[in-house]
Structure 1
Amino acid sequence: MALSKPTFFTHLKTLTKLHHQHHPPPSFISLRLLSFATPEEAAAERRRRKRRLRIEPPLNSLRHQPQQQQQPRSPPNPNAPKIPENVSVLTGNRLNLHNRILTLIRQNDLDEAALLTRHSIYSNCRPTIFTCNSVMAALLRQSRYSELLSLHRFITQAGVAANIVTHNLLINAYIDCRKTDTALEHYKQLINDAPFNPSPTTYRILIKGLVDNGKVERAMELKDEMLSKGFTADPVVYNYLMLGHVKNSNADGVFALYDELKEKLGGSVEDGVVYGCLMKGYFLRGMEKEAMDCY
C-alpha cells in the first residue's frame, strides 16, 4: 500500500524515536560500574592502580631507556681527590660522638679517645674529619707523633677525606720531628692533589720550621710562592723570616723584608709582631738610637 508523503515522514520520526530509546549513548561511569560488583571493589582497583604507578616506571621512561643506554656516563675516577665533609654533618649521633671524644681529650685520656675514634670508623656512627682532627691535634700537643701518623693512616685507608686542618697537623708533626723535606713533600702533594688550597697557617708552619732548621733561603722562596698564589702579605710570616736573618746576623735582609712588607700593606705596618726583629736589625747595625725610637 502506498503511503502519502506526510504519513511517511510521521512514520519515519516514530522509528527514529524508538531507535534512540532502545540504544542510549554509552556512559563512561556506567561502563566502569559494570566492571565491578560493588563500589568498594572499584575503589580498591583505583588504589591498586595508583600503587602500581608509584612502584613501576612510566611507559615513556621505558621507551627512552635505550637512548640513555647509548650515552652512558663515564665512571668516576677512583683516584680523584675526595671532597671533605662540611661542618653541617656534625648533627645527631655524630655530634654526640664528637662531644664524647672531646670529653675524653679534656680528661687527658687520649688513648681512649683514639681507640674510640678507630672503633667508630666502621660503625653506624662514623666520626667526622673534625672529630679525627681533634684527636690528632691533642696527640700533636703531647708530641705523640707516631700515634698521630698511625691514626691519620688509619682514617685515610677508611676513606675519611682530609681537610686543610688535617694537612696542617701532618706538616706540623713533620716539622716538629725536624723532617722538613718530608713536610715540603707533603706540601707539594697538597698543592697537586687536594681539592682545596693551602691556608695562611700552612705557610706559617712551613716557613717557621724552615727558619728554625736554618733553611732561610728556602723559606724566602716559599714566601714568594705564597704571594704568587694571591695570599696577602702576612706579618707573622715576615717576622719568622726577619728572625732568620737576625740569627744569621744579616741586618740588610731584615730591613729589606720590612720595607717589602710595608710596601705591600700600603705604606705602614700596624701589626707590632715585626718590630722586635726590626729593633734587633738596628742593633746589628749599631743604631741604638733608632732601635729605641722603634721601641
Structure 2
Amino acid sequence: MAEMNQKGCPPNVVTFNMLISFLCRRGLVEPAMEVLDQIPKCGCTPNSLSYNPILHAFCKQKEMDRAMAFVELMVSRGCYPDIVSYNTLLTALCRGGEVDAAVELLHQLKGKGCTPVLISYNTVIDGLTKAGKTEEALELLNEMVTKGLQPDIITYSTISSGLCREDRIEEAIRAFCKVQEMGIRPNAVLYNAILLGLCKRRETHNAIDLFAYMVSNGCMPNESTYTILIEGLAYEGLVKEARELLAELCSRGVVSKSLINKGAIRLLDETTDT
C-alpha cells in the first residue's frame, strides 16, 4: 500500500476490499483485520464489502462469539450489516445446530433495518427440517407467503424432505403437487425426497411409478435417485431385482461402481435370495 502511495496511486476502498477478501479466502483473518483497521487511516471509509469477508471467515471457522462481536463492531463504526451479513450468520447458526437462535435473528432483521429475502427463509427452513422441527418450518413457510415472498423449488424440496423424514408422505406429495400447480418444474432433489419417503414405507412399486413419471417429465435422475430405488428394492427383499438394476446401471455407465459400497447397497453382496 505504501508503494502505491509513493507511485502516486493511493489505494481506495475497493483495493482494500480485494486484499481483505484475498486474505480471508486463505484463512488469514488476523492480517485481514489489520488491513481493515488501516482503511480509515488512508482516508477511506470501510463498507459492508470490507467487513463481510471477515464475518464469513469467523462463521466458517465456527467462531460464532467472534462473529457476533464483529457485527457489533461494524455497528459501532457506523457500518450497518446488510442482508448478506445476516444471511451469513443465519447459515452459520443453522449449520451449528443453533436453529432457535437463527429463527430469532430472522425475526429481528426488520428491526435491524434489513428485510429478509427468500434465501434467508430457505436457510432457516432447511435448518428447522434438519433439526426435526418440520412443523415450525411449515409455520415459517406460511409466514413468508403472508409477507409476499414466493417460495421456490428449494423451499418445497426442503419442506418435502422434512416431511418424508417424519413419514408424512401424503403432505410431501401435496407439496409436490403445489409446485406443479405453481408452474415450477420439480427437480431431482424434490423427486428424490418423495422417492425416499415411499421406499422407507416399503412402497417401492409406487416409487418406481414416480420414477417413470419423473423421466417422462424430462427430469434427469441422478446417482442419488438410483441409490434410493436400489436400496428400496433390497430392503423389500427384492434383492435379485436390485442386483439386476445395479448391474445394468453400472454397465451403462449411469452410476459409478463405487455406488456398490454405499449404504444399504452393500446388502446386495451380503443378502441371499429367499
Match among 39, 42, 65 for residue 146 of structure 1: 65
Q: 2:25 aligned with 1:109, yes or no?
A: no
Larger Rg over CA atoms = 1
**Aligned residue pairs: how many?**
202
Same amino acid, percent of matched pairs:
23
TM-superposed deviation, 1:106? 3.1
Alignment of structure 1 residues 76-91 onto 2, 5 Å: none
TM-superposed deviation, 1:177? 3.2
CA contact (8 A) 2:48 2:82 kept: yes
Cα distance change of structure 1 residues 231 and 252 upon mapping to structure 2, 3 Å threshold: same
Alignment of structure 1 residues 3-152 onto 2, 5 Å: 93-120=12-39, 124-152=43-71
Q: CA RMSD in A?
A: 2.3
TM-superposed deviation, 1:150? 2.0
CA contact (8 A) 2:32 2:54 kept: yes
Question: TM-score, with normalisation over the residues of structure 2?
Answer: 0.66
Q: 2:197 aligned with 1:281, yes or no?
A: yes
TM-superposed deviation, 1:117? 2.1
Cα distance change of structure 1 residues 115 and 144 upon mapping to structure 2, 3 Å threshold: farther
TM-superposed deviation, 1:94? 0.3
Q: Which runs of 5+ in 1 are unaligned?
A: 1-90
Cα distance change of structure 1 residues 248 and 160 upon mapping to structure 2, 3 Å threshold: same
CA contact (8 A) 2:13 2:39 kept: no
TM-superposed deviation, 1:109? 1.0
User: 1:121 and 1:157 mapped to 2: Cα distance?
Assistant: 14
CA contact (8 A) 2:180 2:186 kept: no
TM-superposed deviation, 1:246? 1.8
User: 2:201 and 2:94 mapped to 1: Cα distance?
Assistant: 32
Q: Which amino acid aligns with 1:219?
A: A
Correspondence for 2:109? 190
CA contact (8 A) 1:114 1:151 kept: no
CA contact (8 A) 1:175 1:183 kept: yes
1:28-80 C-alpha deviation (Å, 9 max, x unpaired): xxxxxxxxxxxxxxxxxxxxxxxxxxxxxxxxxxxxxxxxxxxxxxxxxxxxx
Q: 2:244 aligned with 1:244, yes or no?
A: no
Q: Which runs of 5+ in 2 are unaligned?
A: 1-9, 212-274
Cα distance change of structure 1 residues 170 and 123 upon mapping to structure 2, 3 Å threshold: farther
Where does structure 1 differ by over 4 angstroms across 4 or more consecutive aligned residues? none
